[in-house]
Structure 1
Amino acid sequence: MSIPPGGVQTVQIPGSDTSDSDESVEDTDYPSRQHSELITGRQVPSVSAPHGHRLNSGARTPDHNFLNYSVCTLLNTSLAPSTMNSYRNAWKHYMAFHQLYYPQCAPLPVPVVHLTQFIATCQHRQLKPSTITSYVSAIAYVHKIQNFPNPAEAFIVQKLLRGLRRDGAKDKRLAFCLTDLENIISYLPSVCVNGYYAVLYKAMILVAFFGLFRIGELALSKLGQNNLIQKAGIQFEYANGKVSGVQVELQAYKHSAGRGARIPLSRQPLKSLCPVRALTRYLRRSCAYQGPLFHHPHGIPITTSAFCQVLRQCVIKCNLDPKRYTSHSLRIGGTTHAHLLHMPATQIQQLGRWRSNAYLKYIRPKPVPITS
């Protein structure tokens, strides 16, 4: 039986166009075309022998067209292919802006006010600060190669770029609350291809929330399996013949410096949101494969991309912003939940494996609406 990637149904997700590329924009081949235009038609002085030496009579003296071609080639070679492609893409985006707002004006040189408005347009499209900065660098390059005044050096442009970096440095991800978890879990049966995956992802969500786990500790990431929880690291605790809790062993984790950790999971009063019950139910349905804790029916580990795809679809169905509610919102939400339950700070630090008060940045309670 073949398993679809991530065990989820393929769903087309509508959204605003925030792509950094735009194939519909007219291809204006900058800056490579600028290189050729820079030297087109310019005469190169006749070649004479330096210091009185005679030229090789057998060597053909190159004409100015050949030399111009060589100059253009060297200029193109001065940029790495990836940089050239990035600059071309940036100029395409600027030309789309220019044609929309200033079609009657010459594209070069770019006035400072046009550049500031282009930056604002990019921010409105929710492009990353690094992407916008690279666009401005491309525009600056075009001006330098043409000996135009560089608008990117203007004070206001530099302040705008600094503002973008400062704003982008803020972590805008929000915390899941218990109500969010209930809603997300309720949509798992409609998102997953079968009951096994619905049980699996419910266990992953609740374990991540109440254990303050990073998703890379529950699912396979590009960094490999070093921090991945193994089935052998699960130990159940019993009281009066019933499972009362779970100890989850981590062999390594981010900034662990070779140290391991044991994370306790306790039963929760609300059965539908109890990580111990969810994990027990999942393990009863999973196969006897040893290795990573969460896996497909045939034993292959669940990947972080598969988990994030499932979570994103559920978040959208809950009418939440998928850009602000991500897999890390589970760790943020679990920390906030523990704080609201008045868990001691030292215990929160131990649970989340923080060695400082960095956990305070994860406490993000939702604002309570004011009722009249």
Structure 2
Amino acid sequence: MRFCDETGVDSYWNPEEHVLVGFVCFLTLPTKRSPEGLKQGTMKVYLYAVRHAHVIAGLKNPLQGASVLESALRAVKRKQGAAKKPRLPVTVSLLSAMKEFVFEESKDVSIWRLHDARCVWAILCMGVFGMFRLGELLGDSIVRDEDFVWLPSQKLVAFHLKSSKTDPFRLGCQVKLFFTGTPVDPYRALFDLVSLRPAGLGGATRNTATFSMSDGKVLSRAVFVSMLRALCAKVEKKLGLGLNAQHFSGHSLRRGGATSMYLRGCSSDTIRTMGRWRSLSYRLYIDSSNDVLLHAQSRMAMVTTESLAGDLGVQQQVSPNVPNLWTAASAEEDDDA
């Protein structure tokens, strides 16, 4: 609709082929969320949506026989190239190494600076242990305290994810985060953020935006990714692991959680269930008990001196080899950069 409004196209229905080609060109333009324009695969999804709308309305499929449109899509694909910038995982071991740098500037300073550190740390822990896409935590749908149900007797907090990329009907789902009793503890990170929040930011009221910073604004994805890369650069400077901070993105949290679980011996079924993967989606309905999920997150949190370099795959500068996992999931990765 925005394309039609901005280019003066009179009707959304029965577009001629040159209009669809113009739509593809429009999608290559940079936007705030996609500085390099949309990927060719995403453009095809948009076009399929146009086709679907016409079919259910009883109209002719506008993509049928559109040879010029197909040529335009192939040209976009060639221009964009097949190579992807590596996306390194934020494993639990790397998360552990980051912690001192998250809180280093908050020592002996105001309560506001400490709150900001807690906010960043909570997002990091929640993102890795819950295998969240960054847009699910810092997207248009603001996460609020009322989205969390605290169950101290079961040592868990249940987060209601209102919607996600693979939940177009906004049915929502529940993601459980457990108390692990380790330095990288998602339950403790969230509890400290909410319970110790300065009164000036709303205290612990249910409607408060969970990830609001000391300036009262919700942390944006772009700012968070910049912080993440700065933290990775500090870890690299201290430990010399051969990391390129620019190879970390918002999706590194989700990758890191799954990678950590795999390297700790968790089954593919458990990883797919906890990560809410679209592939083999029926597995999402397998009833994994709280004991199983607690055991999995506790194993993720086990960090040793040797595990840091091993988890990162620093020799190859790529994620460790996780067979059959990223191949199935690669199509659903966000373009959070």
The TM-score normalised by the length of structure 1 is 0.48
Give the corresponding residue for 2:262.
339
Give the corresponding residue for 2:161.
250
CA contact under 8 A between 1:211 and 1:334: conserved in structure 2?
yes
The answer to whether 1:186 aligns with 2:103 is no
CA contact under 8 A between 1:191 and 1:313: conserved in structure 2?
no
Give the corresponding residue for 2:176.
264
- Which structure is larger by alpha-carbon Rg, 1 or 2? 1
Give the corresponding residue for 2:83.
167
Name the aligned partner's letter for residue 348 of structure 1: I
Give the corresponding residue for 1:153.
none
4+ runs deviating over 6 angstroms: none
Q: 2:157 & 2:257 partners in 1: Cα distance? A: 17
Superposition deviation, residue 301 in structure 1: 1.8
Q: How does 1:268-347 map to 2 (within 5 A)?
A: 268-270=180-182, 272-286=183-197, 287-289=203-205, 290-297=207-214, 299-319=216-236, 320-347=243-270
The TM-score normalised by the length of structure 2 is 0.52
Query: Does the C-alpha gap of structure 1 residues 275 and 165 become closer, same or farther in structure 2, counting only changes over 3 Å?
Result: same
**Percent identity, aligned pairs only?**
22
CA contact under 8 A between 1:249 and 1:261: conserved in structure 2?
yes
CA contact under 8 A between 1:129 and 1:164: conserved in structure 2?
no
Superposition deviation, residue 234 in structure 1: 0.6
CA contact under 8 A between 2:195 and 2:204: conserved in structure 1?
no
Name the aligned partner's letter for residue 230 of structure 1: R
Q: How does 1:200-215 map to 2 (within 5 A)?
A: 200-215=119-134
CA contact under 8 A between 1:176 and 1:332: conserved in structure 2?
yes
CA contact under 8 A between 2:131 and 2:274: conserved in structure 1?
yes
Superposition deviation, residue 191 in structure 1: 5.3
Name the aligned partner's letter for residue 283 of structure 1: V
Query: Does the C-alpha gap of structure 1 residues 269 and 285 become closer, same or farther in structure 2, counting only changes over 3 Å?
Result: closer
Superposition deviation, residue 296 in structure 1: 2.2
CA contact under 8 A between 2:87 and 2:249: conserved in structure 1?
yes
Q: 1:343 & 1:293 partners in 2: Cα distance? A: 30
Whose RCO is larger (CA < 8 A, sep 6+)? 2
SS in 1 for 2:258: helix
Q: How many residues align?
A: 204
Alignment partner of 1:232 out of 125, 131, 146: 146
Q: How does 1:1-372 map to 2 (within 5 A)?
A: 162=78, 165-168=81-84, 172-190=86-104, 194-219=113-138, 221=139, 224-225=140-141, 228-239=142-153, 244-258=155-169, 259-270=171-182, 272-286=183-197, 287-289=203-205, 290-297=207-214, 299-319=216-236, 320-356=243-279, 366-367=312-313
Query: Does the C-alpha gap of structure 1 residues 256 and 129 become closer, same or farther in structure 2, counting only changes over 3 Å?
Result: closer
